[in-house]
Amino acid sequence: MSIRIKMQRLFPQLLLTGVLLLLIVILSVTSEYFLSWENFRNILDQSSVHILLAIGMTFVIASGGIDLSVGNLAALSGVVMAVAMKQGIDIFPAVLMGYSAALVVGLINGLVVSYIKINPFITTLASMSIARGLALILTGGVSIYGFSTTFKFWGTGSIGPINPPIMLSLIFVILGIFLLANTLWGKYSLALGGNGEALRYTGVNVNLYRISIYCFSAVCAATAGLIMTARLNAAAPLAGATYEMDAIAAVVLGGASMKGGKASIVGTFIACLTLGVIRNGLTMMAVPTYYQQVITGVIILAAIIISELRSREA
């Protein structure tokens, strides 16, 4: 009985892993270029921004919230870093300023959601707009480009077999796994979404935890912003648009419940890889990008329907 319950709980992740393996087999057979370290590294590299945003989103969704601002926050923090560096500020303080800008917005998200109790969808919809507007104001609407080699390293350098974007995203995956499974913060994130009243009833300061979750999501977004800016050697005020949707899709595909209380970092990570493999595979099969979007959407919908129907049986 206990094993059955465990299997039931892990079903979304197992299903997803199955889909991922199937895709890998199909693509390996159809394309001679697919199954190589270079291509796998490429998929990881291209998924790194999505992984970072999705890790933060996993905690937000676990707590019963949603954070629509992450894509635009990534753009804003990248822009702040770029503007600061163009003003002659050193890399480290400039990057720190980018993170601070994102943190301020994350803090406001958390404060409004927890103290004024405004629906997180509405709150982050507003801050999403504010972040985009600020990014446009700071740049006058045009991209800022041309940074030092040290800064570009964070997007294009290499560290042994991998590169800094892959390293950063893997660090956040491992950190996320650890936080969710082994700390009070992770447990309370799940408890907030499962039954926030019950948690409050035990005397835990639920607002503090909720605010910190939105701040964590903002830190993930700023890290994504750093990678995006360094990789392109340009801070584009319109970068990262709709990335929040990819993050939400990955979190739900990974087995999280949109109602909160249930989430898996490993699931989110596998989901990001699966979406990355799909994009990569479709490109290799020379499917035009417009069609790719439709196919990706259909796959997400199908996977979520299967796992939802399955969980209703229980």
> Footprint of another protein on this chain (CB under 8 A)?
1-2, 5-6, 9, 182-184, 187, 190-191, 193-195, 197-199, 201-204, 257, 261-262, 314
Pick the closer one to another protein by CB: 127 or 257.
257
Q: Which is nearer to another protein, 109 or 189 (CB)?
A: 189
Query: Chain-centre distance of CA 178, in angstroms?
Result: 17
Q: How far is the CB of 121 from another protein (least distance, A)?
A: 21
Nearer to another protein, 7 or 104 (CB): 7
- Minimum Å distance from CB 92 to another protein? 28
3-class DSSP state of 159:
strand
Q: Closer to another protein at the Cβ: 198 or 285?
A: 198
For residue 174, the minimal CB distance to another protein (Å) is 14
Q: Three-state SS across 19-44?
A: HHHHHHHHHHHHCCCCCCHHHHHHHH
Q: How far is the CB of 305 from another protein (least distance, A)?
A: 21
* CA 215 – CA 110 distance, rounded (Å): 7
Q: What is the CA radius of gyration of the chain?
A: 19
Tell me the closest approach of the beta carbon of residue 188 to another protein, in angstroms. 9
State which residue, 143 or 311, has the beta carbon closest to another protein: 311
Nearer to another protein, 193 or 225 (CB): 193
Backbone angles phi and psi of 235, in degrees to 5: -105, 110
Angle, CA 28 vertex, CA 255 and CA 279 arms, to 5°: 50
Residue with tokens 């969808």: 121
Contact 176, 251 (CB under 8 A): no
Least distance to another protein from the beta carbon of 264, Å?
Answer: 12
* Cα-based distances in Å from 87 to 82, 90, 93, 174: 9, 9, 12, 35
Residue with tokens 């999505």: 50
